[in-house]
Chain A
Amino acid sequence: MSLRILMFLAVMSAVTGSPSSTVAPEATSQNQTVNPTGAAVDGGVSPDSTNEIQESDLNEPQEDEMETGVLNPDHYPARRAARVVQHYLNTRYGSPYKVFHLDTVHSATAENVTDSGRKYQVEFSVKDMISKKSVKSSAEVFFPKLDEATEKQLQELWYQQQRLQQQHTPVVTISCQEPLAIDTKAQEEAWYQQNKVNQSLVSQNLPDSHGHIEPGMEPLWHLGIVASSFIMLNQSTENTLYNMAQVANVTQLETENEQLKFEYDILLHDMVSQEIPRWRMQFTWSPTEGVRVLQMQHLPKCHNCKLPETN
């Protein structure tokens, strides 16, 4: 009799487990533990064990590991390539009243171009943030292979001066006419005339800390995005994802010719490094000519600026 009671108790405890817990979900019983060197205990593949991790190894896969063939449109290689197309579209078609932003990547492919770089083909939609019109299109993006020196320069966070480098700019070819179809001529002309007469536009912090843009200053903000697209296009690689974070400062400069001329201090955001590179640029703009960049300069990060006392 006592044996049967023991069996009964054994069966009970086996089924119900610890009396104080509720039924545990499946996953908590299988811990994915990882020891400090990074080797997985269950599942997964251990990385090559190495005690000398080079900083360059810490970021993105090397070129020969980059995907080729059909890409997942939600994954970062396709998204980064499509972002470059957005920058290109803004340099070509953007204005104080027209700014494109990447909406969706529909499909993408990638291939290695032996010894010279990598080529992406993307189908995407962009939206004009002002008219809210969506444009579907396709494009080719070629990322030239970078020599070691240029690669190093691009990875460094605070080089003093960076003139427009043609040789590493991605090359974009689009196949759509639609960006031209959004008609903003009247507003552009009106804004142009207004500021041709009074050459004294000045502003800071567009948007401000709370995301607010002073009424009437939106065209200056839009123009900032368009102009910074030249920088972002120039600086883009497969290892960057740029957006303009903020216009820190705008000053309109006097000209005697047909163009309006501006100096902008712009803050970019690179999602991959999470850095906020600061650039100063001078450029002209007119409704017919669009943006023409005169100068662009990377300003060093200010680490030891005198900052206000913390409370």
Chain B
Amino acid sequence: MKMCCGALAVVLLLLSVDAATIDRVEYDYFKYHPMDEITKWMTQIEKDYKDIARIEDYGHTYENRTISLLKIGLETGQQKKAIWMDCGIHAREWIAPAFCQFFVREILQAYKTDPKMNEMMKNMDFYVTPVLNVDGYMFSWQNNETRLWRKNRTPGPRNCTCFGTDLNRNFDANWGTVGVSYDCCSNTYCGTSPASEPEAQAVTKFVGSRKDDFLCFLTIHSYGQLLLVPYGHPNFTADNYDELMEVGLAAADAIRQVHGKNYTVGTSPAVLYSNSGSSRDWARMQGIPLTYTFELRDKGMYGFVLPEDQIQPACEEAYEGAMHIITYAYNKTFNGAVATAAAAVWSLILAVGVTSATLM
């Protein structure tokens, strides 16, 4: 009798597991997803890639929602070098969170099949935030009137009935100087003070506490088909401007090779407009060498409401651009001439040391 029940239980279990596998629908990376679906997806990724993916909650929004990232890389027990990517700082730029999700999928697949990515995952961690401005993103999903919302959802200060601060003007980087408005109703309102916003504070704290680990800081936006390098203030030039431009132009070439789309590379004041308080500028000022703002498709025909049939090509080309920058940063740190030179010097020192010891 007992054995019969046991066997029945096993059969039922197997059937239910089977059913679960059949029922689970493949996540559609080429549709726009509301926040609750993105959250569920993150949980699923963590489950499916237990050995290399982990969710980390690193802050909260004004409306007290959790801000989370996926940390992807092999757990080595040591502090590793890192890559930062955030999407959805601006609510209406829906292609950006779509790209972050696609990026995660791609690197996880490449981890299994591409030796280079496998090596990168051993030596580096990828920190990807699919939606930074959670409140704003959710607000933009509410109805047709809210679709083009940009800012977060912090209420305005006294005497101002409007909502929202432009998070990409709120970082502590030349804050409040250029390309901003002090009017809380404006879409470029920079907030009440540098990093006054909890979303900006979350990034500042997380990245700031391990800034020497980061090789690369990529912040994803739309639209315009641009790769923007620091700084947003016209009077300041990054000391590695030449490197930023060279790597950026090569990344734009990589993008063009996918679907023929042209991305313009340059500083914001040169190709677009001056601005201050951007996350990219803040990251560069922390010493993170390769910081870029990606402005994805298109160039204004659809603008923020990019059709879903363009999600795939937009993501594919941006992925090549991002990977070019990331691979460059990785190679510069881990491979090549530098390592060889260090090895040569070591050998020389050891030889001198041994000789001295022998002579004594």
Contacts and interface: CB of A to CB of B under 8 A. Distances in A.
A233 interface: no
Interface in B312-360: 329, 332-334, 338-339, 342, 345-346, 349, 352-353, 356-357, 360
Summarize B's interface: helix, strand, loop or mixed: loop
Interface in B267-318: 270-274, 284-289, 299-308, 310
A114 to B, nearest CB: 26
B181 interface: yes
A183 interface: no
Interface stretch (B1-9, B49-57, B125-133, B143-151): B143-151
Contacts of B121: none
A168 interface: no
B173 interface: yes
Given A44-B235, A75-B271, A58 B285 contact: no
Contacts of A304: 161
Contact of A47 (B177, B185, B231, B243): B177
Interface string B84-116: 000000000000000000000000000000000
B182 interface: yes
Given A210-B32, A245-B305, A271 B235 contact: no
A244 B304 CA distance: 10
Contacts of A182: none
Interface in A53-111: 53, 55, 58-61, 72, 74-76, 79, 101-102, 104
B239 interface: yes
B200 to A, nearest CB: 16
B240 interface: yes
Interface string B178-220: 1111110111100000100000000000000000100100000
Summarize A's interface: helix, strand, loop or mixed: loop
Contacts of A203: none
Contacts of B349: 8, 11-12, 15
A209 B356 contact: no
B237 A44 contact: yes
B236 A40 contact: yes
B270 A273 contact: no
Contacts of B305: 207-211, 245-246
B: contact size bracket: 35 or more
B235 A46 contact: yes
Interface residues of A, number: 78
Interface string B148-180: 101001000000011000100000011111111
B266 interface: yes
A276 B148 CA distance: 8
Nearest to A86: B300
A250 to B, nearest CB: 14
Given A8-B356, A303-B185, A58 B148 contact: no
Interface in B65-96: 79, 81
A23 interface: yes
Contacts of B239: 27, 30, 32, 42-43
A157 interface: yes
Contact of A210 (B243, B299, B307): B307
Contact of B143 (A27, A104, A308): A308
Contacts of A102: 299-300
Contact of B162 (A22, A45, A59, A303): A303
Nearest to B150: A274
Interface string B208-249: 000010010000000010000001011111111001000000
25 contacts: A5-B356, A11-B352, A23-B339, A25-B289, A32-B236, A32-B239, A32-B285, A38-B174, A38-B177, A44-B235, A55-B183, A59-B273, A74-B264, A102-B299, A157-B185, A209-B305, A211-B306, A211-B307, A212-B308, A269-B304, A274-B187, A304-B161, A307-B146, A310-B63, A310-B139
5 tightest A-B CB contacts, nearest first: A211-B307, A243-B300, A27-B289, A274-B187, A44-B236
Given A33-B285, A58-B180, 13 more contacts: A1-B360, A21-B212, A22-B334, A24-B333, A58-B178, A59-B179, A60-B273, A157-B186, A209-B144, A210-B32, A269-B148, A273-B188, A310-B139
